[in-house]
Amino acid sequence: MTPSPLISLEHDLTTLQTGAIAAIAAADTLDALEQLRVAYLGKKGQVSKVLGGMGQLPAEDRPRIGALANTVKTALQDALDNRKTALQSAQINAQLAAETLDVTMPGVYRPQGRIHPINSIIDQITDIFVGLGYTVASGPEVESDYYNFEALNFLPDHPARDMQDTLYLPNGDLMRTHTSNIQIRYMQNHEPPLRVLATGRCYRRDTVDATHAAVFHQIEFFAVDKGITFTDLRGTIRAFIDELFGEIPIRFRPSFFPFTEPSAEVDVEWQGRWLEVLGCGMIDPNVLKAVGYDPEVYTGFAAGLGVERLAMVQHEIDDIRRLYSSDLRFLNQF
């Protein structure tokens, strides 16, 4: 005998509830649980499909099936909520267990980092000149012949242009031999008065020994204004050395640089002897003309110094190669 539509719907809803609750209890992830919610309670879910048969029922039987359907939906929703809470708690507990630290375990020792002597002295010099009102500038390490030599008044046959002194690239560019290229680039784009500090890495084909390196750091400072004299340059260098090292003996020796006239070398007394630390001079009128300044109106000075040599003086280091040895026994002293 075929059961009536009412009994059939009641049976289907009861069976659906039993199977759904069992499936929900077995769900082991939140994603799987969400899929079950959609499968049973979604607009196209199993409950909706069963209720699609209510159209076959007499009007007086429909409230009975509607009440049963609401009971089933409530039971399934309660089962979903309870399982979701259980899965979330399990997830949190698993995360806590994975991230728990055993404070009784010995720690992993990591030595404290230190500022390298080269970086340290660059920072110190920068602070000094910024305090004097200078602007910090930078420029490219791969440079053209014009900015590295020609605009700085190097004649075509100057020895510095020789392959034995400068590292040239196949395309004709070169690795800059000094930070003076920054001076030209900055002056091209700024009008006087100006006071600039330029820092960076430089490259020369030097034979490496206790006081020379093929790759080194240089700092250059220069000023251009009306009425600047060599006295301003000397006073600036004296103030800079005093601030960095204290009142140690220094001396100026006449020298020659293509881009300054007159020019001088500056030495400091180091371990009982004189050590050259920077070159300086008044900016040559030809350099001022190259950047569009009128040398009849403006004058200026420039000075360049080797960072490594100043670090050697400051820390009483006897060999420049120690700065690049990566020897922690040496670096841990700073």
Mind listing the pLDDT tens digit for each residue in 217-272? 999 999 999 999 999 999 999 999 999 888 889 999 999 998 999 999 999 887 78
Q: Could you tell me where the beta strands, DSSP code E, fall in 159-288? A: 174-175, 194-203, 215-225, 250-257, 260-270, 273-283
The yes-or-no verdict on residue 100 having pLDDT over 70 is: yes
Point out the least confidently predicted range of 2-11, 72-81, 182-191: 2-11
Confidence grade of residue 107 (pLDDT, cut at 50, 70, 90): confident
Judge whether residue 1 has pLDDT over 60.
Answer: no
pLDDT of residue 12: 74
Does pLDDT of 298 surpass 90?
yes
- The tokens describing 109, both together, are 């020792």
- Predicted pLDDT of residue 184: 95
Tokens at 141, concatenated: 């390490």
pLDDT of residue 203: 92
Please return the burial class of 173, using the count of CB atoms within 10 Å of its CB with bins 0-12, 13-18 and 19+. middle
| H helix count then E strand count, the chain | 11, 9
Strand, coil or helix: 201: strand
- pTM score, two decimals? 0.64
Which SS3 state, helix, strand or coil, does residue 91 take?
Answer: helix
Locate 315 and state its tokens.
Answer: 């820390």
